[in-house]
Amino acid sequence: MTRYLSLAALLALAACGGSLPPPDWKMNAQSGLEGFQKNYLDGNARLAEISFAKARAEAARTGRPDLIARVELARCGVRAAALEFDDCPAYQPLKDEAAGAEKGYAEFLAGHWQGLDAKLLPAQYGPVLKAGGEAKLAEVADPASRLIAAGILFKSGKLDQAGIATAVDTASEQGWRRPLLAWLGVELKRAEAAGDRAAMARIQRRIDLVAASIKP
């Protein structure tokens, strides 16, 4: 489960331990979220949406808005890793019934870090939150969580070139095409702004290679 730490630590939908197996909905919801993250980061939008719909439907079987809030926030977090931002609109109608951890994570995703209690967040975000910036980005061990944190810092205008390079390297190492294309696009724009034609050509070659690997 370490590959999905950013989701599992937040959601804890699938029970760990105990003498009885968890209910089917918990396992199915967790499986759906894992499938969503994998397919989204791989660049397979259709399968990502199918997996997410499964996760949401399974959580909805409980009739608990707080669980749906968790699922929606998980989706928004993964999208932030690929620099796709919104106000997490599906979470907004549920926020009044969300628990403290969900509200804390929502504030984290919104970039409202001032005064945010680190105890409300998955532990892997602690170093970045305490530093208030990208200086501790490399200390986030989970790759998906590192990209999510980088995305929020970028949105807030607090990510320098070293942080962008960390995000590119993270996505590249994992072979996650969707965030890699997004972060390479950021590097390309910076190279264009600087008039660095050699860097532009190098980055474009990388973008072309990744794009060519995506099936129609």
Range scoring the smallest mean pLDDT among 34-43, 81-90, 123-132: 123-132
How far apart (Å, rounded) are the C-alpha atoms in residues 12 and 4? 11
The answer to whether 5 touches 27, Cβ cutoff 8 Å, is no
Per-residue pLDDT tens over the stretch 90-122: 999 999 988 888 899 999 999 888 888 888 887
Q: What is the dihedral of CA 124, 129, 130, 134, to 10 degrees?
A: 100
* Residues 135 and 167: beta-carbon distance below 8 Å: no
Residue 179 to residues 68, 76, 93, 102, 172, Cα–Cα distance (Å): 25, 14, 28, 24, 9
Place of tokens 């990502």: 48
Is residue 14 scored above 60 in pLDDT? no
Q: Are 128 and 149 spatial neighbours (Cβ–Cβ below 8 Å)?
A: yes
SS3 for the chain is CHHHHHHHHHHCCCCCCCCCCCCHHHHHHHHHHHHHHHHHHHCCHHHHHHHHHHHHHHHHCCCCHHHHHHHHHHHHHHHHHCCCCCCCCCCHHHHHHCCHHHHHHHHHHCCCCCCCCHHHCCHHHHHHHHHCCHHHHHHCCCHHHHHHHHHHHHHCCCCCHHHHHHHHHHHHHHCCHHHHHHHHHHHHHHHHHHCCHHHHHHHHHHHHHHHHCCCC
How many angstroms separate the CA atoms of 100 and 92, rounded? 15
Query: What is the pLDDT averaged over residues 175-203?
Result: 97
24 token code pair: 């089917």
Confidence of residue 15 (pLDDT cuts 50, 70, 90): very low
Confidence of residue 19 (pLDDT cuts 50, 70, 90): low
Average pLDDT over residues 179-192: 98
Higher pLDDT, 100 or 208: 208
Q: Residue 6's domain spans which residues?
A: 2-212
Say yes or no to pLDDT of 16 above 60: no
Q: What gap in Å lies between CA 131 and CA 28, rounded to an integer? A: 36
Domain tally for the chain?
1
pLDDT exceeds cutoff 70 at 13: no
Q: In the prediction, which pLDDT does 134 show?
A: 54
pLDDT single digits (tens) 56-70: 999 999 999 999 999
Predicted pLDDT at 135:
58
At 133 the pLDDT is 58
Check pLDDT > 90 for residue 191.
yes
Structure tokens at 127: 């170093």
Distance CA(40)–CA(30), nearest Å, equals 15
